[in-house]
Homo-oligomer: A and B are copies of this chain.
Amino acid sequence: MNIVIGLREMSGIADRLRSEGKRIALVPTMGALHEGHASLIRLARGNADVVVTSLFVNPAQFAPGEDFSRYPRNLTGDTELAQKAGSDMLFTPSAGEMYPGDFRTYVGVDELSTLLEGKFRPTHFRGVATVVAKLFHCVKPHIAVFGQKDAQQVVILRKMVQDLNFDIQIVVAPIVREPDGLAMSSRNVYLTPAERRDSTVLHRSLQSAVQQIGAGERNPSAILQTMTRVISGVRSTAIDYISIADPVTLRERTSLTAGDEVLISLAVRIGSTRLIDNCLITVPQ
C-alpha cells in the first residue's frame, strides 16, 4: 500500500495519473475505518482506476471541548482494511502541513451550515467544506465518495461542488449498520456496553417514522412526537434534534405529500457520546 504524506507529493502523483488518462477516486475519511468506510472504498473501486483513501482527523471541524484529541486513531488497522477493500493509496497528510500557523482561508456554505447539526456545531461544516476543498485540490479526483450516514455533510458538499464549480462527481454510499441496526461510526467505540445496547434506539425511532409514513401518517409533528417518545423511553438518551426536512434545502417539512423525498435525521447523546443517524425516504401513495 502506497502511503503518501506530503501535499506536493500527492498533487504530483495525481498529475501523473491524470496525464496517463487514469480516473481517480477519492474517499475522504478521518481514519478509524470500519465496514462503512470499506463500503465507500469498494464503491470507489468500481468507479475509478485509482482509489485514494485520505485519513485525516481534521481539527477544523471540531470545536473546543469536542472529541478531537480522543478521536480514535489506528493507522495499522486502517491500512489493512483500506487495502482489503481495494484502495490503492492512503493519503495521510500532517495537521502541520494542512493547517500551518498562518492558515486563514475557509469555505463556507451559508444557511445549510446553520441548520440541524450546525445548530449544535456552528463551525463544523466550515471545517468540513474547507478540508474537503483542500483534499480535492491535492488529490485532483474525478469522483469522491461519501457516506449517507453524514447526510447533512453530503448536502453541503454537493452544494459546495455545484457553487464553486468543482469538476468532481459526488457519489454517496448507503449507511452500513450493525446487525442490531446501529449505524456504523468510528465514535461507537466510546459507548459502554450498556450504552451500546441503548444506542439501537436511534435506528428504532427512524423505523417507527418509516412505519408511520407507510401507514399513512402525513403530519410531521405527529411523527416527531412518536420518535421523541421512543427515544425518551431510553433513560441514557438526550435528544439534540429530530428533523423531517427537505433533502436539498434542509428546511423542515410542515406536511408530507405522496412522492416527496424527505430526510429524517436526528442527533442523540447516549451518555457522553453523541450519535447521528438518518433515513431518506419517498412518501408513498
Contacts and interface: CB of A to CB of B under 8 A. Distances in A.
Interface of A: 7, 11, 15, 18-19, 21, 103-112, 129-130, 133-134, 137-138, 140, 159-160, 163-167
Contact of A106 (B15, B21, B110, B137): B110
A142 to B, nearest CB: 10
13 contacts: A15-B167, A19-B19, A19-B21, A103-B163, A104-B111, A105-B108, A105-B110, A105-B159, A105-B164, A106-B108, A107-B108, A134-B165, A137-B167
Contacts of A105: 107-110, 129, 159-160, 163-164
Contact of A164 (B19, B110, B134): B134
Contacts of A108: 105-108
A157 to B, nearest CB: 10
A218 B88 CA distance: 58
Contacts of A134: 163-165
A137 B110 contact: no
Given A105-B160, A110-B106, A159-B105, A11 B137 contact: no
A7 to B, nearest CB: 6
Given A165-B134, A165-B138, A167-B137, A107 B104 contact: no
* Shortest beta-carbon contacts, A-B, top 3: A105-B163, A137-B165, A104-B110
A104 B163 CA distance: 7
Nearest to A12: B167
Contacts of A111: 104
A106 B133 CA distance: 12
B104 A7 contact: no
A238 to B, nearest CB: 31
B11 A167 contact: yes
Nearest to A166: B137
